[in-house]
Amino acid sequence: MEPSKNIGGEFEIDVQKQESIKSCFDKNVFTYSSGRSALFNILTDAKQRFHINTVLLPNYLCSSIVQTAQNAGMNVVFYELNDELEIDCAKFSQLYSSNCAVLIINYFGLKRLDSQIAYVRSLNDNAVIIEDDVQAFWEFDKDLGVVDYKFTSLRKTFALPDGGLVKSKYDMKMVDEPNVFYQFKLAGSVLKMLRQPFFYDDRLYLEMFEKGESLIDKDVSKGISSFSKEHYCTLDFRDIQKTRKRNASVILEGLKSLGVDTLLPVDSEKTPLCIPVYLSNRNNVRKFLFQHNVFFPVHWPLDGMNLSKGAELADKELSIVIDQRYSETDMTYVLNLLGDALK
């Protein structure tokens, strides 16, 4: 039985279900226009506060992180990861110096970062450490811990058109001027919601998404929209988390029977952004899924970057969506399609 809607892609937003209320962000959370904007403001703050000019980035990441670091006036140096997507300690120690910030990514919301953070602190107790929780909202939602900064992106996890959040040891500059791109993301999301039963072509809302995407980098110095500020407070975080964990469990059981390995171990205590799998014929599988209106992202295209770990995974990783839009029936449908694609 096929689902009643496409699986994957950006969130739909039903504005009629939203209620306008005051913002409810914690006082220790700084708000910006996007995850990129959050990182831009972190690096700008670190550069001024600690007089650093270099950021160490892992060699498996989205190209937007690199561009954001360069836009913040930082030199970028890549460090190597091991097969667990953790710092390769032997090689890292040769790169690190006290005038560097270190960014550690919580991949797919599945990593425990304590040991990596402790290792960097062992090199320099005053090291400037940035925790990237763009794929790990529920890890961001915990206390800051022993890092200097942590950040996340709302639109990666929720039906919100914009918003980047930062927690920091330090008092950071708040930005009140709202961004521009959110209105195109919001328009695209509403059009996607209203499309059923196919009143107009997909291109209409996809063009809105693409227009919004093209403006995100230009809005790194801008703030979060009033829409996302207000409607963040209407989210039922516990129910969303419960649904994601349920869907993840269904997918994991099905992958076992299909003989498909996940890229990383999936701890039942974690709330994944998606379930990343490693497929030797990824592109063929993805094409087959597209033909059945299932649109799964990949993490990440190289986009011209020469990164060893990135190159190793660029044509093999597939991210199975398990978010709160979907039912157990949808997950079973996805598993059946995967089984057909792998035959």
**Beta strand pairing call for 54-58 and 100-105:** parallel
What are the sequence ranges of the domains in the chain?
236-341
**Amino acid of residue 154:** L
| pLDDT at 15 (0 to 100) | 67
- Token digits of residue 212: 């919004």
Residue pLDDT tens, the chain, 343 long: 566 568 888 887 766 555 545 568 888 999 999 999 999 999 999 999 999 999 999 999 999 999 999 999 999 999 999 999 999 999 999 999 999 999 999 999 999 999 999 999 999 999 999 999 999 999 999 999 999 999 999 999 999 999 999 999 999 998 999 999 999 999 999 999 887 667 888 899 999 999 999 999 999 999 999 999 999 999 999 999 999 999 999 999 999 999 999 999 999 999 999 999 999 999 999 999 999 999 999 999 999 999 999 999 999 999 999 999 999 999 999 999 999 999 9
Residue type, 336: N
> What's the CA gap between 260 and 281, in Å, rounded?
12
123 vs 66: CA distance, rounded Å: 24
DSSP-based three-state secondary structure for 55: strand
- 150: helix, coil or strand? strand
Contact in structure between 7 and 320 (CB atoms under 8 Å): no
Token match 């270099």: residue? Answer: 54
Three-class SS of residue 1? coil
Distance from C-alpha of 135 to C-alpha of 163, rounded to nearest angstrom: 14
- Domain 236-341, classified CATH 3.90.1150.10, yes or no: yes
Say if residues 278 and 316 touch (Cβ distance below 8 Å).
yes
Sheet strands (E) in 241-314: 274-278, 294-295
Helix (H) or strand (E) holding 318: strand 317-321
Q: Which two tokens stand for residue 94?
A: 């040769």
Position 57 scores a pLDDT of 98
How confident is the model at residue 252, as a pLDDT? Answer: 98
